[in-house]
Amino acid sequence: MISARHTQSLTDFRQKATETLNRLNKTGEAEILTVNGEARAVLLAPAAYDELAREAQLTRDVSIMRQAIHQLEEGKGRDAGEVMDELRQQLLAKKKRRKDGRRRSGGN
């Protein structure tokens, strides 16, 4: 949860935008912007945003891996080599169709 001590109105932010942005970049702490006392936006320094984005991606990746492990344990998995062969065949077929289409239209 973001600390309420880093809250300011949008009006105050407009008047002190440079000061607020400098503080965000120096401290890495978030700032809540309010309109009529209601939280409407959160400002983050780029470094803080990047860290949150990396953590969120890691959480998604772990979730996907857990789901895959569960599926493998239930016997629902497929051999990686078979999947890669299937993808390779699909890509080669697509490449051939594209090449054949160019021949018919007078291209290379």
Q: Report the pLDDT averaged over residues 84-102.
A: 93
Q: Rounded to 10 degrees, what is the CA torsion of 41, 1, 47, 9?
A: 30
d(CA 75, CA 48): 41
Q: What is the CA radius of gyration of the chain?
A: 26
**Identity (one letter) of the amino acid at 48?**
A
State both tokens at 98: 């594209």
Asked if the model's pLDDT at residue 107 lies above 80, the reply is no
pTM: 0.59
- In this prediction, residue 54 has a pLDDT band, given cuts at 50, 70 and 90, of very high
Report all structural domains of the chain as residue ranges with CATH numbers, in order of start: 4-44 (3.40.1620), 48-101 (no CATH)
The span from the CA of 28 to the CA of 21, in Å, is: 10
How many angstroms separate the CA atoms of 5 and 10, rounded? 15
